């Protein structure tokens, strides 16, 4: 009996945090369906009549759909690129002895510690001289470059931990170095790849500063830029319901992806972190 | 939207990519290539100067206009783009309305690839004094001397309100032209005041008395845009200027010792502080953004709000029918103020400029010629509910209550329109004033401490040799 | 069989190193150079000024305020996040004692994890805009909530009071981060061998003792990794502060963070050299923090082994 009672207390605590997490989101959904007058009247009232028009306005006038597509292109491209290059680099550094190995490793890891602010304006120049300002591939390359240090740092330890016997066997079977990597080592590092992939995805999805400077064309805005612009421009036109609707539209695809893949997302993440 | 010429190199060959990368990497490490590329003035593309094309715009060259899309909207700059395309049928105008102009454009200025016309306005705009000092701004004198679009016999210069050219002059050259004439005051709803039998006070003592009366009716007397304390700095410094005269303003702008501890300045701070100590400010105002505060005011939760003349345009979507807002000058601080009641703090805003390194500077100048035409200016008065700086532009325009009150106020102020320059000249001082005023308005600083704190910041700027100083 | 090794290495490393050198190393190197100049961000010239930028930092009120606030965040955000996350993770993994004295996950553990984790997926821009409205005094969610449960007198203008503005910003960071670390810690706790826990139970150890003696030492490594990530998070805070707070950075500089000071110096005041000096300082702060944390982790590993 005693343990049943304390179980109830535990559930209460857990439900409490669940409420803390969900309440703001539910509230935002409700607000996105209210009129501006209702929003200003009371935070708790339900919308008298759902104002779907707010969503239409956010989608059309604030081009949330376009921002979403831009984000998917840029983050997707950068993710593929950084996973390929990062795993190759980490593998080479972890499994091969050669002069400069440690120097390269530390140079890469140091990159994790630099505040991106520091590089902003010089970076603009580099990108501009390559003719990549405001282009998808420009952003993809920059995103990948800035995600590289963490990817290498993370996978380096992973490849170190894999048994050497396996790759030895692969070489005896006549595998080339390239084939040994792609056919043998990479599959073995799968759980690490998934974890770092998720880490990278979150980091890139959240990127705010880099696109702010390197992606000046409103047509190519990524979601974070689009939302910040929305917050300012809806602020100027006092369209709060439209702003909430824009927020919800921006959240929804992430929510769907999460509901569908939550097990993979969380298990991949934990597999890597508790390595 | 067409891509800018400089962005056309979307697919560099492998060779240019690698070459560029090595050059950028190596040169950057050694010489700081960041600073190496900025100063070369691009060769100016010109076309034949004709009567129809007095500024010699090269035909067939596209134009890129980047403007601040804020409270005034972007209808008027788009209108000007249409007029421009009418004059130059072979050219296309790439018109972009953005917010946070500085963050977007600063790197492009550094790279020497700015757009052809910029409206440098709004929160996060570029520091225009720095731009001018860095030789980034094209001299607009030839535009002023060019024939205006409406009447070729009249140069553009003569179509503008007095003071506009002066406002845009830095170190002897005209660097930018402001489009909107802005004055600051205190706003209220005439319908609300008529219904309650209230009249706008002439002196601050009357204001405090009226506030007591308003409070009895269950409405908060004042609200303000607390998240941006600058809004309350304006009535405060306007009262100080009216009471102390133009010499007070000059002392402040010239960073004179103890300028912020002058009696009239402290008296104005004390006056504003009374609103706090007497409980006349709507609860929570200090955390409200401009839109939240203005909406509360529009909903009749507060009687007064300080704001510039753009307020009516900004609120036109949400202002209730029959609200009939008007703007009035700040009340007199004392019975013996140096300036009359109608004196106004005013300036012009929406700063349009042509970057000196723009690809199409001639086109940029000609775009401004279109923008400052009567036709476009009239459209601005209608859509943005604000006064353009073009003479006679509001003639025949049906004016709403707010715009009419602003026009009246400007008319009766006559020569008594004053402005502070320190905000333009010394941005860090402006921040210190805003911060301290925010604290004054929440009662965490008293007027003495407020003055001391700002004076310390002003002295710091005055003692800093790395800051370029200006005098007036 | 090892021939072709060099060719493979060159082929594999060329592209990533080129990418890294061009887009990361060279801009940072240039920024280091700029920290010793008076470049204004717009002109073609930059004079070398030696260490002047760095010495000026120590009398800059804003920078010092930012340093103080980031320091407070560095103390509070990781600590509170980790404590909360450990608490909930412990409840999830060993909360329920079954009839046979065994220890298992609480019912609905999976559902809790799904919900808790979600805020981590929201971008900072979304968080900032959302919480700006939660904290707004008149019709915000927080004051409305307090009123609904009869604590309306506790309501206040959260972002407008110097004492509350920074905690309000930190609360957003913690709100978004806790779930991620709950999932992380819970997974670590689940990998604790059951017989170890059950043996402790049989010895009569209570939940608290079990947690302190067995669970905590077992997940300590993970906690320290979490501390590094959260520390780096706490040294930033730029986007939240810039979008949410009064000023931004106010009231009275109470939410100023280094990123914001740096950003304002560069983009509003045009002191790019000075801003670079701040960036360099921030870099060394981050570096020393990580070094300390990593060193601590390493020693811990040796001791455990």
Whether the predicted pLDDT of A208 surpasses 60 = yes
Q: Do A177 and C5 touch (CB under 8 A)?
A: yes
Residue B33, domain member (yes or no): no
Q: Checking DSSP bridges between strand B169-170 and strand B344-353, what pairing results, if any?
A: unpaired
pLDDT at C44: 65
Q: Establish if B372 belongs to a structural domain.
A: yes
B298, B323 in Cβ contact below 8 A? yes
Nearest to A67 by CA among A257, A225, A232: A225
Does a structural domain hold residue B287? yes
The predicted pLDDT at position B278 comes to 95
Whether B197 and B155 map to the same domain: the answer is no
Dist CA A126 CA A128 (whole Å): 5
The verdict on B205 and B278 lying in the same domain is: yes
Q: Are residues B240 and B314 in the same domain?
A: yes
Checking if the pLDDT of B7 tops 70, the result is no
pLDDT of residue B274: 96
Cβ distance of C37 and B439 shorter than 8 Å: no
Cβ contact, residue pair C113, A126, below 8 Å: no
Contact yes or no for C89/C186 (Cβ under 8 A): yes
Was domain A63-238 assigned CATH 3.40.50.720?
no
What's the half-sphere exposure (Cβ side, CA atoms, 13 Å) at C148? 11
B98 and B152, same domain (yes or no): yes
**Measured between beta carbons, which residues in chain B are less than 8 angstroms from residue A217?**
1, 3, 7, 96
CA distance A92 to A58: 48
CA distance B352 to chain C (A): 18
Range of the domain at B425: 185-345+417-463
Q: Is residue B353 helix, strand or coil? A: strand
Find the closest chain A residue to C171 by CA distance.
Answer: A20
Domain count, chain B: 2
pLDDT score at A241: 84
How many residues comprise chain B?
472
Interface contact C42-B103, CB threshold 8 A: no
Percent of chain A exceeding pLDDT 70 equals 91
List C residues 236-295 in contact with B (Cβ-Cβ < 8 A): 246-247, 250-253, 267-270
- The mean pLDDT of B320-344, rounded to a whole number, is 93
Of A115-119, A254-258, C119-123, C142-146, give the range with the top mean pLDDT: C142-146
Q: What is the pLDDT of residue C54?
A: 93
Select the residue of B100, B107, B299 nearest A232 (Cβ to Cβ): B100
Q: Which of B1, B71, B111 sits opposite A128 (nearest CB)?
A: B111
Q: Chain A residues with CB inside 8 Å of C134's CB?
A: 24, 27
Which chain C positions have a beta carbon within 8 Å of A251's beta carbon? 122, 126
| CATH number of the domain to which B117 belongs | 3.40.190.10
Pairwise CA distance, residues B333 & B203, whole Å:
6
Q: Both B138 and B221 in a single domain? A: no
pLDDT at A271: 55
Cβ–Cβ below 8 Å for C157 and B286? yes
In the predicted model, what is the mean pLDDT of chain B?
Answer: 85
Beta-carbon contacts of residue C92 (< 8 Å; ≥ 6 apart) = A14, C105, C106, C109, C112, C113, C182, C186
Residue, of B46 and C36, whose pLDDT is higher = C36
The stretch C3-25 carries a mean pLDDT of 90
Contact A221, B96 (CB under 8 A): no
Domain layout of chain C by residue ranges = 48-304
Query: How many angstroms separate the CA atoms of B367 and B370, rounded?
Result: 5
**One domain for residues B212 and B159:** no
Domain C48-304: CATH architecture, name and number where available: Orthogonal Bundle (1.10)
Q: Checking DSSP bridges between strand B220-222 and strand B173-174, what pairing results, if any? A: unpaired
Best mutation site among C128, C270, C274 for testing chain B: the one with the most B CBs within 10 Å? Answer: C270
Tell if the CB–CB gap between B291 and A134 is shorter than 8 Å: no
**Is any Cβ of chain C less than 8 angstroms from the Cβ of B34?**
yes
pLDDT at B95 exceeding the cut of 90: yes
Average pLDDT over residues A218-233: 77
C158 and B134 within 8 Å at the Cβ level: the answer is: no
- Say whether B34 and C37 touch across the interface (CB within 8 A): no
Q: What is the mean pLDDT of residues B166-192?
A: 91
- Could you tell me the pLDDT band of residue B411, with boundaries at 50, 70 and 90? confident
Q: Do A236 and B98 touch (CB under 8 A)?
A: no
Nearest to A130 among B12, B108, B290 (CB): B12
Residue A136: pLDDT band with limits 50, 70, 90: very high
Q: Do A44 and C148 touch (CB under 8 A)?
A: yes
Distance (Å) from the alpha carbon of A184 to chain C's nearest alpha carbon: 16
What part of B 271-330 touches C (C-beta under 8 Å)? 283-284, 286-289, 292, 296
Q: Does one domain contain both B339 and B210? A: yes
Q: How high is the ipTM of this complex?
A: 0.84
CB contact under 8 A, B20 and A130: yes
Give the sign of the dihedral formed by CA A28, CA A34, CA A37, CA A42.
Answer: negative
Strands B63-68, B117-120: pairing kind? parallel
| Entry field: residues in chain A | 275
Chains in contact with A, where contact means 3 or more Cβ–Cβ distances below 8 Å, are B, C
Q: Are residues B105 and B168 in the same domain?
A: yes
Facing residue for A131 by CB, picked from B10, B34, B69: B10
Give how far C252 is from chain A: nearest CA, Å.
23
**For residue A144, which residues of chain C lie inside 8 Å, CB to CB?**
19
Chain B residues inside the 8 Å CB shell of A232: 99-100, 123
pLDDT at B13 over 70: no
Check residue B35 and give its pLDDT. Answer: 44
Mutation target for B interface from C15, C57, C268: give the one with most B CBs within 10 A: C268
Q: 3-class secondary structure for C244-271?
A: HCCCCCCCCCCCCCHHHHHHHHHHCCCC
Q: Which residues of C touch B227 (CB under 8 A)?
A: 159-160, 246-247
Q: Residues B346, B351, A220, CA angle at the centre, nearest 5°?
A: 135
Contact B7 A129 (CB under 8 A): no
**Does residue B93 lie in a domain region?**
yes
DSSP secondary structure code for residue C120 in this structure? G
């Amino acid at each position: 009996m005693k343990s049943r009672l304390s179980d109830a207390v535990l559930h209460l605590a857990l439900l409490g945090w669940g409420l803390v997490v969900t309440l703001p989101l539910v509230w935002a959904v409700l607000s996105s369906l209210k009129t501006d007058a209702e929003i200003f009247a009371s935070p708790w009232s339900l919308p008298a009549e759902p104002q779907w028009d707010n969503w239409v306005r956010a989608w059309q006038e604030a081009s949330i759909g376009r921002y979403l597509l831009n984000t998917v292109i840029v983050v997707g491209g950068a993710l593929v690129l950084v996973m390929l290059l990062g795993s190759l680099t980490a593998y080479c550094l972890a499994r091969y002895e050669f002069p400069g190995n440690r120097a390269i490793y530390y140079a890469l890891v140091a990159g994790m510690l630099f505040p991106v602010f520091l590089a902003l304006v010089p970076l603009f120049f580099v990108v501009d001289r390559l003719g990549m300002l405001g282009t998808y591939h420009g952003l993809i390359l920059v995103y990948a470059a800035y995600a590289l240090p963490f990817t290498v740092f993370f996978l380096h330890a992973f490849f170190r931990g894999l048994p050497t016997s396996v790759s030895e066997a692969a070489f005896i079977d006549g595998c080339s170095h390239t084939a040994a990597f792609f056919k043998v080592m990479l599959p073995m590092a799968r759980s690490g790849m998934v974890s770092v992939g998720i880490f990278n995805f979150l980091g890139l999805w959240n990127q705010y500063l880099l696109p702010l400077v390197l992606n000046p064309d409103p047509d190519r805005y990524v979601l974070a830029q689009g939302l910040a612009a929305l917050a300012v421009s809806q602020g100027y036109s006092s369209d709060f319901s439209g702003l909430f609707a824009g927020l919800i539209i921006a959240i929804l695809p992430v929510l769907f992806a999460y509901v569908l893949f939550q097990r993979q997302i969380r298990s991949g993440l934990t597999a890597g972190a508790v390595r | 939207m067409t891509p800018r010429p400089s962005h056309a190199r979307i697919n560099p060959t492998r060779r240019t990519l690698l070459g560029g990368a090595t050059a950028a990497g190596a040169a950057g490490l050694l010489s700081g290539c960041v600073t190496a590329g900025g100063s070369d003035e691009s060769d100016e593309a010109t076309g034949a100067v004709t009567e129809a094309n007095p500024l010699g715009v090269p035909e067939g060259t596209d134009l890129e206009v980047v403007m601040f899309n804020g409270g005034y909207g972007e209808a008027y700059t788009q209108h000007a783009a249409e007029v421009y395309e009418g004059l130059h049928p072979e050219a296309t105008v790439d018109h972009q309305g953005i917010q946070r102009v500085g963050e977007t454009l600063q790197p492009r200025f550094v790279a020497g690839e700015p757009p052809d016309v910029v409206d440098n306005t709004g929160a996060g705009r570029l520091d225009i004094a720095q731009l001018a000092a860095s030789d980034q701004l094209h001299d607009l004198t030839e535009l002023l001397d060019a024939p205006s679009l409406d009447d070729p016999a009249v140069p553009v210069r003569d179509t503008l309100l007095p003071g506009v050219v002066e406002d845009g002059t830095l170190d002897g050259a005209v660097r930018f032209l402001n489009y909107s004439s802005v004055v600051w005051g205190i706003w209220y709803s005439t319908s609300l005041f008529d219904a309650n039998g209230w009249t706008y006070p002439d002196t601050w003592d009357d204001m405090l008395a009226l506030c007591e009366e308003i409070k009895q009716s269950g409405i908060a007397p004042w609200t303000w845009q607390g998240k941006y304390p600058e809004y309350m700095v304006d009535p405060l410094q306007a009262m100080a200027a009216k009471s102390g005269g133009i010499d007070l303003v000059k002392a402040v702008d010239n960073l004179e010792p103890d300028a912020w501890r002058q009696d009239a300045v402290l008296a104005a701070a004390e006056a504003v502080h009374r609103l706090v100590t007497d409980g006349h400010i709507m609860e929570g105002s200090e955390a409200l953004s401009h839109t939240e505060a203005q909406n509360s005011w529009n909903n009749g939760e507060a009687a007064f709000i300080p704001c510039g003349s753009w307020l009516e345009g900004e609120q036109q979507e949400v202002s209730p029918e029959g609200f009939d807002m008007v703007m009035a000058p700040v009340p007199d601080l004392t019975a013996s103020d140096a300036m009359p009641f109608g004196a106004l703090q005013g300036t012009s805003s929406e700063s349009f400029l042509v970057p000196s390194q723009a690809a199409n500077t001639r086109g940029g100048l000609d775009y401004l010629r279109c923008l400052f035409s009567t036709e476009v200016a009239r459209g601005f008065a209608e859509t943005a509910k604000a006064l353009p700086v073009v003479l006679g532009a509001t003639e025949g325009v049906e004016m709403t209550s707010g715009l009419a009150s602003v026009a009246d106020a400007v008319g009766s102020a006559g020569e008594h329109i004053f402005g502070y320059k320190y905000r333009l000249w010394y941005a860090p001082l402006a921040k210190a004033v805003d911060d301290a005023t925010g604290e004054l308005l929440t009662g965490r600083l008293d007027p003495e401490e407020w003055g001391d704190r700002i004076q310390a910041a002003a002295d710091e700027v005055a003692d800093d040799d790395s800051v370029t100083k200006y005098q007036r | 069989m090892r021939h072709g090794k060099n060719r493979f290495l060159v082929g594999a490393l060329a592209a990533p190193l080129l990418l890294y050198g061009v887009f990361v190393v060279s801009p940072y190197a240039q920024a280091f150079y700029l920290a010793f100049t008076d470049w204004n961000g717009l002109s073609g010239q930059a004079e070398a000024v030696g260490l002047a930028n760095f010495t000026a930092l120590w009398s800059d009120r804003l920078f010092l305020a930012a340093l103080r606030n980031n320091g407070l965040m560095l103390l509070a955000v990781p600590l509170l996040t980790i404590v909360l996350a450990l608490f909930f993770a412990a409840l999830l993994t060993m909360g329920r004692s079954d009839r046979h004295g065994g220890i298992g996950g609480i019912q609905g553990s999976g559902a809790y994890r799904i919900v808790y984790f979600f805020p981590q997926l929201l971008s900072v821009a979304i968080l900032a805009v959302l919480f700006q409205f939660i904290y707004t005094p008149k019709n915000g969610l927080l004051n409305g909530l307090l009123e609904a449960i009869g604590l309306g007198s506790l309501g206040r203008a959260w972002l407008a009071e110097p004492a509350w503005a920074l905690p309000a910003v930190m609360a957003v960071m913690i709100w978004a981060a806790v779930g991620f670390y709950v999932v992380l810690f819970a997974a670590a706790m689940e990998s604790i061998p059951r017989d170890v826990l059950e043996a402790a139970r049989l010895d009569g150890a209570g939940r608290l003792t079990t947690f302190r003696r067995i669970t905590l030492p077992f997940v300590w490594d993970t906690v320290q990794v979490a501390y590094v990530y959260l520390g780096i998070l706490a040294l930033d805070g730029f986007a939240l502060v810039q979008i949410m707070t009064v000023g931004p950075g106010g009231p009275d500089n109470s939410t100023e963070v280094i990123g914001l000071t740096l950003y304002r110096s560069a983009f509003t005041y045009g002191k790019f050299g000075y801003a670079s000096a701040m960036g360099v300082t921030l870099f060394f702060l981050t570096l020393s923090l990580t070094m300390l944390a990593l060193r601590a982790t390493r020693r811990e590993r040796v001791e455990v082994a």
